[in-house]
Amino acid sequence: MLWRSVSAVLAGLLLFGSFPPRPWWFLAPLGIAVLTLTVRGTGRLRAGFGYGFLAGLAFFVPLLPWTGIYVGPLPWLALSAVCAVYIGLFGLVTRLVGALPGWPLWVASAWVTAEWVRSSFPFGGFPWGRLAFGQADGWFLALAAIGGAPLVSFAVALTGTGAAAVLLLVRSTLRTRSSAARRSANPRLGFATAAVALAIMPIAGLALGSALPDPDHGDRTITVAAIQGSVPRLGLDFNAQRRAVLDNHVRRTIELARAVEAGQAKRPDVVIWPENSSDIDPLRNTDAAALITQASAQIGAPILVGAVLVNSDRTTTNSVIVWNGAAGPGERHDKKIIQPFGEYLPMRSFFRLFSEYADRAGYFVPGHGDGVVRADGIDIGVATCYEVAFDRAFEDAMRAGAQLLTVPTNNATFGDSEMTYQQLAMSRIRAVEHGRALVVAATSGVSAIIGADGTVRQESPQFVPAALVADLPLRTSNTLATHVGPAPERVFVAMTVAAMAVVMVRKRSSRAAKKTDRLVQSADIPG
């Protein structure tokens, strides 16, 4: 028990170490290998859950401290514990299906299934910490163009379970002493199967890397600017400084306009501001509208403005509005996947009993639509901040013909934390998944220009005003991942369910056979 507990903690720490800003993506399959060796066995299912839960704590507690920077440790630790439950369920399922032929495959699919459940339930799910999101610099990245984030997670998991199978076969072979036992064990087939599981996914990822689209080629090229105005100070009192934040983004846009007039920068076709760049509702406030109109007119291009809009019932929407000079507001994207415990508070009367910060959660409501806004004939797919973690965020936008993707975000409310780099890695996965250039515009950093191959072409420092300007291709062709949508994830979930069903049937048949044997034996006893 002691050694398994230690190895469970080690597995969780290895998984944590694979995530940005650390470049050690290769620790993820190693962590899965250690976790598989820890939870797989013939003991009680609850032991598998317990070791998995322990690994989950070691993984999520250091991964998510940004969630408690300004609200104290209770929400951070509670969220980490809830996320660890899903790793515990993975441990339970691994102990259940780990004896099936070809078990590395079923265990890897169980990992993806656990990620799917965590990304869906409760309160819409929390996908942070999916294996795929630590692989933006790794060999597995190109697989996102085939099957999205689920395939990348599966590839990492299968590599880890394949490594675990190889180690178990080596140990079994070394322990088998007699040649007859070796022959009866017939390890060659097992070695071959495990070796394939270990090698096929990273090799496939490397091979597919050369097939990713050229980041400079497309149907046509436009010039895009991302504005990072920065904020006077970090923290949850972001709304108290909303006029200063708007002024910062107007000022930095006008500075870019002057650089364009001086021939020092290329005039953009579209400008992207971050989420919350105007927390003053410009549809209700004439001063805010005038400032945005001035900035758009001087730069000579439409601006995608991240704004908080107040609805007639006093709820709010987190929106991105196309603002085109004197023509004013045009199309908009209202954030569809809103953040529980931040933008809104589920079960408010209950959760306010546990934290004095509960009532600081907003009253945002989700929007609708396909996630595409059109600016001067350019179809731009938008996933605002938290949305980028969800596979479904860009699916509607891609079906609606998005030629370019953007992730406007406000990281000022999470301080100087690893969160911004983790979110940047998610954006890189999405760029490869859909074969589109992607622009990240952040209030305080990191803003970035990302190519369709996942490379970061430009990146701003944190906490300083910046303007990133780049020529980016527009595309209408789609990747296989875009075409198949959620199908790969559904296949992995179906595989897991099928494997569990086989185990249940086998157990029932075994119990029935034992019962029959006992009845036969009792009938043979002389009366």
Structure token digits, residue 526: 């002389």
Instruction: Name residue, tokens 């088998």.
Output: 176
Active site residue 83: no
CB 323 within 8 Å of CB 298: no
Q: Is 275 a catalytic residue?
A: yes
Q: What is the CA radius of gyration of the chain?
A: 26
Residue 433 a catalytic site member: no
Determine phi and psi for 204, rounding to 5 degrees: -60, -40
Pairwise CA distance, residues 165 & 345, whole Å: 44
Buried b or exposed e, range 179-209, using 16+ CB within 10 angstroms: eeeeeeeeeeebeebbeebbeebbebbeebb
- From 336, 385, 395, 433, active-site residue: 385
Distance (Å, whole) CA 418 – CA 438: 20
The answer to whether 111 and 131 have CB atoms below 8 angstroms apart is yes
Catalytic residue among 335, 343, 395, 489: 335
Distance CA 206, CA 183 (A): 36
Alpha carbon distance 258, 372 (integer Å): 30
SS (H, E, C) 423-476: HHHHHHHHHHHHCCCEEEEECCCCCEEECCCCCEEEECCCCCCEEEEEEEEECC
- Residues 85 and 53 sit within 8 Å (Cβ to Cβ): yes
Contacts 24+ apart (CB under 8 A), 109-113: 109/154, 109/492, 109/493, 109/495, 109/496, 109/499, 110/496, 110/499, 111/32, 111/153, 111/154, 111/157, 112/150, 112/153, 112/154, 112/157, 112/489, 112/492, 112/493, 112/496, 113/492, 113/493, 113/496, 113/497
| Given the residues 275, 395, 433, 489, the one annotated as active site | 275
- DSSP annotation of 278 reads B
Active-site residue numbers? Answer: 275, 335, 385
